[in-house]
Structure 1
Amino acid sequence: MQYELYDPPSDAISSVVFSPTNPHLLLVASWDKSVRLYDIQNNQLRQTYACSAAVLDCCFSDGAHAFSGGLDKSLTKFDFNTTNESIIGTHDDGVKCVEYCKDNSVIVTGSWDKTVRLWDIREKDASIGVHAQPNKVFALDVVQYKLVVAMAGRHVFIYDIRYMAEPIQRRESSLKFMTRSVKCMPNGQGYACSSIEGRVAVEFFDPAPDVQAKKYAFKCHRKIIDGVDTVYPANALAFHPIHGTFASGGADGIVNIWDGFNKKRLRQYPPFPTSVASLSFNFEGKYLAIASSYTFEEGEKDHPPDSVYIRPIGENECKPKTVAESAST
C-alpha cells in the first residue's frame, strides 16, 4: 500500500529521483535548502546535505554521488560515503535543471542564465562547455546521447551531447504555453513534455515525415468546478523504465498513468493532498515516488504539508494494453 516518508522537507519539494543502482534509495531536493537521501524500504532518512539557497533539482551519477543546483547558482556534489560536499562550478543565475548522462559520464545543467553547461566527472570535476541558449532553460532530459532542452519562448533544442556546437534540431514546442517538464522515452525514440496549461505532448526525434505524423498532444489535469472547465499545470512527468508508459502529475493533486503507444489513460490514482510537484519511478519500475507539494500557482496561501508518497506498482499497473485489450475497453 501507498505510504508517506517520515521526516519530509520543511518547504516546497522541487525534485524526487531514485538511485540508478539501489531500488530503495531516493533523493529529494527542496526549497528548504536541503537535499535528502531516503531509504524507502525502511522509511528512513539516511542523510541530508545543506545548500546555501533553495535547491531546484538533483540527480545521482552513481549510487554514492549526488549533484544538485538551485538559487545559489552552483552545481554541488555530495559523496554519501565520505560525506564530502564540494562546489563543482557556477552559473550566472539560478540552476533549474541537473541531469546525468551515463553514456559519457557528464553532468548537464540548465540555468535561467540562458546556458546549458557540461561537467566532466570522470577524472576531475571540470566544466567542459558553456552553450548559450536563446532563452531561460526550464527543463531538460538526456537519453543515450540525445539532450532535449526546453526553454522560455517555446524553444526546444535537441543536441547530440558529444557535439554541442550546434543543435541537431531546433523545434517550437507543440504546446502553446510554458513548459513545466520534459522526459525522454527509455527506448530513445522521443520525449514527452508538459505545460502550465494542462497539456502533454508526445514527440519523436526522427525527422522523417511518417514518424513526425505520429506526434500528438492531449489535454489532462482539468476538472469542471461550478460548471467551469478549470485547468491545472501539468508539473511532472516520469516514464516507466520497463514498459515505456508514463505518469503525469498536476497541480490538481492527480497522478495519471498513460499508455502513449495506444493514446489511452491506464489509470488515475486518488487525489493527493496538494499539487504533484515531481515524480520518479525506480529503475525496476516497482515503485513510484510522488512529491505532494504546493507549487504556488495560486500565490501564497495555506496548504497541506509537503510530503513524499511511495506507491508500490503492481505487475500490470503500468503495462500497455494489447490491441485486443484496447479494443474491448
Structure 2
Amino acid sequence: MSGLFGSSSSTASSTLGDLKNDVELQSPPEDSITDLAFNPNPTDPKDFLAVSSWDKKVRIYEILQNGQGQGKAQIEHDGPVFSVDFFKSGDKVLSAGADKQAKVLDLATGQTIQVAQHDAPVRCVRYFEANGTPMAVTGSWDKTVKYWDYRSAQPAASVTCQERVYTMDVRDNLLVVGTADRYINVINLKEPTKFYKSIQSPLKWQTRVVSCFTDSAGFAIGSIEGRCAIQYIEEKDASLNFSFKCHRDAPQGNVTNVHAVNDISFHPQHGTFSTAGSDGTFHFWDKDAKHRLKGYPQVGGSITATTFNKTGTIFAYATSYDWSKGYQGNSANYPTKVTLHPVLPDECKPRPNAKKR
C-alpha cells in the first residue's frame, strides 16, 4: 500500500506531522458524523469504510487505490445513527441509533434487518463472537447492555448499568462500557451478565470514549476535559495506570481552553493509539513509552470520530460539528467531511526500547 495516496518523500522525523497527502471522501454525510468503522477481515484485499451520521444514514464506501471512496451501500434509520461496526467477516455491517434499534446490513444481498430493540436511543453497537456465533452487543440510554444473536428477535442476555450508556468497546472477550456519572464497567464476555469490575473513571469529568487495547489487557478513556487515562484490567498492572492532558490550547494568562477528547483509536499492528478532539486536531501516542509520537495541524473543525483500517496504513477521521459549544457554535458552512490520512511507516511505530506488553 506504499504510495497509496501519491508518493511521499517525507520521513516525518519531527513530532509535527503533515496532512498534505490526506484525501477527502466524495459525497460525505449531510449532518454531523458520529462513528467510523473499517472492515476488519484480513483476507479481504479491499477496504470498506462505514460512516454513521445524524442524517439518519450509514454510508459504506469502498476505498480505492488513489484514496478516493466510492459509495457501495447504505443503511437507513428512523432517527440519527450513533454507532456502526463490521462483522469480523467484513460482509455485514451493524448500526444503531436514536430510533431505539440496531440493524444489520448484508453487503452481499443488500438486505437490512432489525436485530435489536431498546426502550431508549441505542448509543453503541459492537460485534463480538460467542463460541463462534456472530453476536451484537448494544448499549442504550435505557441503562441496559443487551446481547443479540442476529437471527433471533429476543436478546440472548441483558445487564443493567448504573446509568445511561455513553460509550462502549469490545476486543476479544473484553467489553468496556462507559456510562453517565463516570462509571466504567468491565465485562468478560464469557460471563456476559455480570460485571468483572466496576470503577469510576480516574478522570474528573464526563466520559466521552473508551477504547480497548489491541492486546485486551486494558483500555483508554477520553473525557470532555482534555484528558486521557490509560487503565489496565488486572490489579497486578495497576502501577502502569496513568492519565495525561491533551487537546488543550496554550494558556492565555490564567485561562487554558480545554477540549473534549471525542475518539480514541488503537493501531492494529503497533498498539499505539490516536486521540482526536473538539479542537480539530489528532495525535498519535505510545502508551508504553508515555510519549507523543506525532501531532497534526488543525483540520478546520471538530474531529468527531476516527479509525484505522485493518493493516494500519490508513487513518480515517471525521470532521463535523460536535455540539461542544451548544447551538451557538454551529453554522451552515461548518465542514462535514471524512478524510483519509495515509499512515507513513514511522508515524505510529512505538519508540525503541519501550516496554512491550
Shift of 1:225: 6.4
Task: Give, as a single letter, the amino acid of the residue that structure 1 aligns with 2:158.
Answer: V
Partner of residue 142 from structure 1, selected from 170, 176, 190: 170
Q: For the residues of structure 1 that align with 2:249 and 2:323, how far apart are their CA atoms?
A: 19
Report the TM-score when normalising by structure 1.
0.94
Counterpart for residue 157 of structure 2: 129
Task: Give, as a single letter, the amino acid of the residue that structure 2 aligns with 1:189.
Answer: A
Query: Which string of whole-angstrom CA distances, capped at 9 and with x for unpartnered residues, describes residues 99-123 of structure 1?
Result: 11146422111000000000113x5
Q: For the residues of structure 2 that align with 1:257 and 1:102, how far apart are their CA atoms?
A: 29
Counterpart for residue 116 of structure 1: 145
Shift of 1:130: 1.6
Counterpart for residue 40 of structure 2: 20
Please give the residue correspondences for 1:1-329 in structure 2 after superposition, counting only pairs within 5 Å.
Answer: 1-21=21-41, 22=44, 23-41=46-64, 42-61=68-87, 62-102=89-129, 104=131, 105-121=134-150, 124=152, 126-208=154-236, 211-224=237-250, 226-227=252-253, 228-300=255-327, 301-302=330-331, 304-323=334-353
* Alpha-carbon contact 1:204-1:212 (below 8 Å) kept: yes
Q: For the residues of structure 2 that align with 1:117 and 1:215, how far apart are their CA atoms?
A: 29
Shift of 1:153: 1.1
Task: Give, as a single letter, the amino acid of the residue that structure 2 aligns with 1:37.
Answer: I
Q: For the residues of structure 2 that align with 1:251 and 1:308, how far apart are their CA atoms?
A: 15
Q: For the residues of structure 2 that align with 1:196 and 1:81, how far apart are their CA atoms?
A: 39
The list of structure 1 runs, each at least 4 consecutive aligned residues, that deviate by more than 4 angstroms after superposition, is: 123-126
Q: For the residues of structure 2 that align with 1:45 and 1:225, how far apart are their CA atoms?
A: 43
Q: For the residues of structure 1 that align with 2:119 and 2:234, how far apart are their CA atoms?
A: 34
The 3-state SS of whatever aligns with 2:170 is strand
Q: For the residues of structure 2 that align with 1:125 and 1:4, how far apart are their CA atoms?
A: 39
Q: How many residues align?
A: 321
Shift of 1:224: 2.7
RMSD between aligned residues: 1.5
Moved more, 3-12 or 59-68: 59-68
Q: For the residues of structure 1 that align with 2:99 and 2:152, how far apart are their CA atoms?
A: 22
Shift of 1:163: 1.1
* Alpha-carbon contact 1:103-1:144 (below 8 Å) kept: no
* Alpha-carbon contact 2:157-2:193 (below 8 Å) kept: no
Task: Give, as a single letter, the amino acid of the residue that structure 1 aligns with 2:101.
Answer: S
Moved more, 4-13 or 77-86: 77-86
* Alpha-carbon contact 2:96-2:125 (below 8 Å) kept: yes
* Alpha-carbon contact 2:165-2:177 (below 8 Å) kept: yes
Shift of 1:49: 2.1
Query: Which string of whole-angstrom CA distances, capped at 9 and with x for unpartnered residues, describes residues 222-281 of structure 1?
Result: 003644310000000000000000000000000000010100100011211100101100
Task: Give, as a single letter, the amino acid of the residue that structure 1 aligns with 2:325.
Answer: E
Counterpart for residue 327 of structure 1: none
> Greater strand share, 1 or 2?
1
Report the TM-score when normalising by structure 2.
0.87
The 3-state SS of whatever aligns with 2:156 is strand
Q: What runs of 5+ residues in structure 1 fail to find an aligned partner? A: 325-329
Moved more, 272-281 or 77-86: 77-86
Counterpart for residue 15 of structure 2: none
Shift of 1:168: 1.1
Q: What runs of 5+ residues in structure 2 fail to find an aligned partner? A: 1-20
Moved more, 196-205 or 17-26: 17-26
Q: For the residues of structure 2 that align with 1:64 and 1:43, how far apart are their CA atoms?
A: 18
* Alpha-carbon contact 1:40-1:310 (below 8 Å) kept: no
